């Protein structure tokens, strides 16, 4: 379960395109930040994706991915041309392919590796769908099958692409647009697969072309409702529409941290409330309807002179801090392993970025009302400093000339990650030393005790 947001042109404060996504997956499903350099490939070879092989292309782009540690593809990412993609699981009436196929995450990586524009990335995904289909288990500890929707953007435009098996519809974004875990395209679209309407009529999901509505015809209403996606999508749209013409990366970061209007008005709010996944920053809990949570957050500021990619690299966006990353000529993208630690896996470790932050996150949610205020103000000030410094440096972080400016951008990225790590250590000590005063609901606590045991943290 996820949420992806985009604002284009006149909707943003500077006329840029800004994309944001929370990646929602199982609580112990650590997410790795992965950098892929530009590469040449021999003719005729294949590339192994999560489950199947597909023909490789002669050259692949430089790519930054936020990737579930056990998957080949990524939940969200960008490439050196500013192409940025986030996907959503969508639940439909069309049967899911449970055998090997391309996952939505595979399609994101393949499109980023092979595209220089958002439209080319869209075309790449639909070509992959036609050639290979989508399928395979996408769950970590619990099997999960679904189809995919995407927001695909570059510094000039953005598209929503929604798929149902090998059928699809696409809509160009005019101002702001958000997607969650349900189909959203209705009576109108800009592009569509052949036979889209005719297939729905044949299945009896609508009576004629005149009554066809993509989301109404193809959605599986039970899973769509239980996933809470309609509430989340309405909320994300409201947040962006309220800021039309003034949207900045900070606007998007705040949206990804949103717990809904009730939490905004209640200082005693805690993440144990609620049965469904109805908040943008979602926290896992007990039972089948809250099995996932936000395990990574991304905001891509696709300015024309130098895109900046802000990622938490850690779970629970509300407890995390966004750090800047860059792509382009001479820019290596990620700090080295002395800063990030080893790539995370599905069990706790004391060294990786993702699991180091989990000590803080899991302590905070044991008493959110008391513990989150201990460092929220300092976190916000540090993040604001990163944003200010990035804005001031943007003119020097161009893609040309390649080497010196690339090193400068990476040095700035490394500095931000180091400062964030030092702050996280302080915040963790402060939170752990503060006694719990307001315990969350019992079932929420029991669920997190179990998640901790499964990760080897208890």
Best CA proximity match to 283, nearest among 297, 295, 265, 267: 295
Distance CA 189, CA 56 (A): 31
Distance CA 116, CA 16 (A): 17
Give me the torsion for CA of 187, 190, 193, 197, rounded to 10°: 20
Neighbour tally for 303: CB within 10 Å: 18
CB within 8 Å of 34: residues ≥ 6 apart? 64, 65, 66, 67, 74, 334
Neighbour tally for 395: CB within 10 Å: 9
- Is-catalytic flag, 2? yes
Sign (positive/negative) of CA torsion 431, 437, 440, 443?
Answer: positive
CB within 8 Å of 322: residues ≥ 6 apart? 253, 297, 299, 310, 311, 312, 383, 386
Give me the residue label for tokens 């490439």: 79
Contact 214, 197 (CB under 8 A): no
Distance CA 385, CA 392 (A): 11
Tokens for 305, please give them.
């002179």
Contact 277, 2 (CB under 8 A): no
Contact 275, 296 (CB under 8 A): no
Helix boundaries (H) for 365-402: 368-371, 376-393
Catalytic pick from 2, 61, 138, 217? 2
By annotation, the residues acting in catalysis are 2
């Amino acid at each position: 379960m996820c949420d992806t947001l985009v604002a284009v042109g006149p909707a943003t404060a500077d006329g840029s395109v800004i994309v944001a996504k929370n990646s929602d997956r199982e609580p112990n499903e650590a997410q790795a930040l992965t950098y892929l350099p530009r590469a040449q490939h021999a003719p005729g070879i294949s590339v192994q994706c999560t489950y199947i092989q597909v023909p490789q292309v002669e050259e692949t782009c430089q790519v930054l991915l936020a990737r579930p540690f056990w998957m080949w593809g990524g939940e969200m990412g960008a490439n050196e041309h500013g192409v940025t993609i986030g996907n959503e699981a969508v639940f439909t009436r069309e049967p899911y392919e449970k055998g090997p196929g391309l996952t939505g995450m595979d399609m994101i990586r393949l499109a980023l590796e092979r595209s220089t524009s958002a439209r080319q990335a869209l075309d790449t995904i639909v070509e992959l769908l036609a050639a290979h289909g989508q399928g395979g288990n996408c769950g970590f500890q619990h099997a999960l099958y679904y189809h995919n929707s995407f927001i695909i953007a570059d510094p000039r435009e953005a598209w929503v692409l929604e798929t149902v098996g090998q059928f699809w519809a696409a809509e160009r974004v005019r101002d702001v647009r958000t997607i969650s875990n349900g189909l959203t395209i209705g009576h109108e679209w800009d592009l569509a697969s052949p036979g889209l309407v005719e297939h729905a009529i044949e299945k009896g999901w609508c009576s004629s072309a005149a009554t066809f509505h993509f989301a109404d015809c193809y959605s599986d209403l039970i899973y769509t409702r239980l996933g809470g996606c309609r509430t989340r999508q309405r909320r994300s749209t409201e947040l962006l529409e309220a800021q039309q013409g003034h949207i900045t990366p900070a606007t998007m970061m705040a949206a990804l941290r949103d717990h809904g209007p009730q939490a905004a008005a209640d200082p005693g709010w805690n993440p144990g409330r609620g049965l469904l996944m109805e908040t943008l920053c979602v926290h896992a809990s007990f039972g089948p309807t809250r099995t996932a949570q936000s395990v990574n957050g991304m905001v891509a500021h696709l300015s024309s002179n130098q895109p900046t990619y802000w990622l938490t690299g850690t779970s629970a966006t509300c407890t995390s801090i966004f750090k800047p990353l860059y792509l382009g000529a001479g820019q290596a993208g990620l700090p080295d392993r002395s800063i990030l630690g080893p790539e995370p896996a599905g069990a706790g470790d004391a060294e990786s970025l993702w699991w180091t932050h989990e000590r803080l996150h899991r302590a905070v949610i044991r008493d959110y009302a008391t513990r989150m205020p201990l460092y929220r103000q300092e976190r916000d000030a540090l993040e604001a400093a990163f944003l200010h410094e990035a804005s001031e440096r943007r003119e020097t972080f161009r893609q040309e000339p390649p080497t010196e400016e690339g090193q400068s951008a990476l040095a700035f990225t490394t500095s931000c990650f180091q400062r964030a790590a030092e702050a996280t250590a302080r915040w963790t000590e402060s939170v752990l030393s503060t006694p719990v005063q307001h315990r969350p609901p019992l079932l929420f606590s029991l669920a997190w005790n179990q998640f901790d045991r499964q990760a080897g943290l208890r």
